[in-house]
Structure 1
Amino acid sequence: MENPNDISKRILTLKRTFNVPVKTVWEAWTRPEHVAQWWGPKGMEVKVIQHEFKTGGHWKYVMLMPDGNEFISEGVYSEIIEFEKVVSSANFKPMTEGVILQALFEENGDKTNFTFSVIHPTEEYCKQQEKMGFYNGWGSAFDRLENFVASH
């Protein structure tokens, strides 16, 4: 019998190596003025509404859609280890709710190994999110992040 709590069946992960030091990637991920420059797919304007970067702190970003609608992403930080790890709950209304985001930052000389995972409440939900375009959506955002850190 399979364990319904098996995290390996509820997680989607993207890995990147950025050609900049870990401090640069960390600041791009944790400073609101930087987040607004890369969060979301190419061409999307992002407004940082709330950004309390501390354990228990809330974050809320709004992406302005071309049709005038707003796409809201928000959550609460549950674990922060400087230059290493950020864990947060996350809701991306109306598409994704009740997930956990985990961003890992690993120094690799003058480069940064970055691992981003989203943990879903169920295996079914995880599969649904993958089909909805998880890798393309986050991949596009991380392309923007890569361009942002390369220019700063």
Structure 2
Amino acid sequence: MTETADNSCAIRPAQAHELTVERRVAAPPATVRRMWEERIEEWFCPRPWRMVVDRLDLHPGGVSQMRMLGPDGEDMPNHGIVLEASEHRIVTTDAFQSDWQPAGPFMVGIWSFDDDGAGGTILRGTARHWTEEACAQHEAMGFAEGWGACLDQLKTLAEGGSID
């Protein structure tokens, strides 16, 4: 699913097993990328949920160990491996955990920070799934709303605002 310029959704071909949200951010890509990393605990979960980063090694093969904490005491681990961490893109997967231990794969997460040609950034969050069923499950869980809220929060921080 793709968020269009007016934040409505458009569905991509089912065979891609891919869901995407997109925002235009009035800040340069380097700022958005820096906010992604430095303030991840503030923007990564839609409120009232919050994220706790136990470990995040942003380099290929690096460990990603985070937990999503819910308002009713939920504690959902979100562990995986960093596949790519460049200036314009961060890619992670839950197909592996630390020391390359296989895990039940759900998706590959891709965050991209592209120059919009006007001093701002096109920010994209994409989830690629191994199966059509996993993709449909993620969409039904509220992918567009959840990831959209996260991108809105990151956009606010990158543009100098507060999400409190």
Range of TM-score over shorter length? 0.7 to 0.9
Query: Amino acid of the residue matched to residue 127 of structure 2?
Result: V
Q: Partner of 2:54 in structure 1?
A: 49
Q: Partner of 2:77 in structure 1?
A: 72
Q: CA RMSD in A?
A: 2.1
- Counterparts of 1:101 and 1:80, CA distance in 2: 12
Alignment of 1:1-152 (within 5 A): 8-31=15-38, 34-82=39-87, 84-90=88-94, 97-108=105-116, 109-151=118-160
Question: Conserved in 2, the CA contact under 8 Å of 1:7 and 1:119?
Answer: no
Question: Conserved in 2, the CA contact under 8 Å of 1:13 and 1:116?
Answer: yes
- Counterparts of 1:26 and 1:52, CA distance in 2: 15
**Structure 2 spans left out of the alignment, 5+ residues:** 1-12, 96-103
TM-score, scaled relative to structure 1: 0.83
Question: Conserved in 1, the CA contact under 8 Å of 2:24 and 2:120?
Answer: yes
Q: What CA deviation, in whole Å up to 9, does each residue of 1:35-69 have, x standing for no partner?
A: 01111012223211001111100112222211112
Change (3 A) 1:73 1:142: same
The alpha-carbon deviation at position 30 of structure 1 amounts to: 2.2
The alpha-carbon deviation at position 97 of structure 1 amounts to: 4.6
Query: Amino acid of the residue matched to residue 62 of structure 2?
Result: G
- Counterparts of 2:74 and 2:22, CA distance in 1: 30
Q: What CA deviation, in whole Å up to 9, does each residue of 1:107-142 have, x standing for no partner?
A: 123200112210111012211211121101111111
TM-score, scaled relative to structure 2: 0.77
**Structure 1 spans left out of the alignment, 5+ residues:** 1-5
Stretches of 4+ moved more than 4 A in 1? none
Larger fraction in strand: 1
**How many pairs does the alignment contain?**
140
- Counterparts of 1:145 and 1:13, CA distance in 2: 15
- Counterparts of 1:8 and 1:111, CA distance in 2: 32
